[in-house]
Amino acid sequence: APPTSPAGAPTTTPVSSTPKPCITTPPPTTATPTTTTPSSTQPATTRTTLSNGHADYAVRLVAGALQSRIKDGTKSGTPVWRDPDDVTIQLTSAAGTTSPGGAFGFLGPKGTPVWQIPQTQKEGVIWLGWNTEELKAGQVPGNAVTWRLDKVTGPGRVSVFEFNSFGQPQIIFNSADGLPDTYNIPIGTHAHGNWSFTKPGTYNLTFT
């Protein structure tokens, strides 16, 4: 069964996704994303906070090299491509839920509070997926890329998982059992999963 919302959820649980280590400061709950439009290959350079709407952790091929980007679709119109270093993902109490226990024990014992970006879109919570739709056949070996979570800093544990057809978790990344973790993604993929955090606070995720 899906988790249920707990009482006493924190005001914010900011999360930063970046291809290299960085330090972030929790933003105010009134932060408004900036939507400057970059060129077709150059990312926007203004730091921004995303707390609602749709975005993807994506990869693009720029001058023959793969580059990690945030595809910011939180506003209407053309998505804005951003450097992950310039993006803070902010969660509010709307992301609060609890661990169901059992097969979801990696989130903590049953009833343990967690804060989660869900696999299906939820009002008031950023909907963060992953995306390789910019890549074409023959551009990368095996027509797939390897996504790797190298490091997590923050007050709690981080996991990313999907539900299988039986509602059971398929873990993609789990900081609790050691990193790095890797995940193979075919080109042309646009998918969403559950991003879970066991304690409120600021997290820095280092992806390559």
| Nearest one of 148, 159, 34 to 108, comparing CA atoms | 159
CB atoms near residue 195 (< 10 Å): 28
Q: Is residue 36 pLDDT above 80, yes or no?
A: no
pLDDT, the chain, mean: 84
**Chain centroid to CA 18:** 10
Q: Is residue 77 pLDDT above 90, yes or no?
A: yes
pLDDT, position 94: 95
- CA–CA gap between residue 207 and residue 30 (Å, rounded): 27
Greater pLDDT, 42 or 4: 42
Greater pLDDT, 150 or 46: 150
Q: Is residue 10 pLDDT above 90, yes or no?
A: no
pLDDT band of residue 15 (cuts 50, 70, 90) is very low
DSSP summary character for residue 123: T
By mean pLDDT, which of 12-21, 162-171, 175-184 is the weakest? 12-21
pLDDT band of residue 79 (cuts 50, 70, 90) is very high
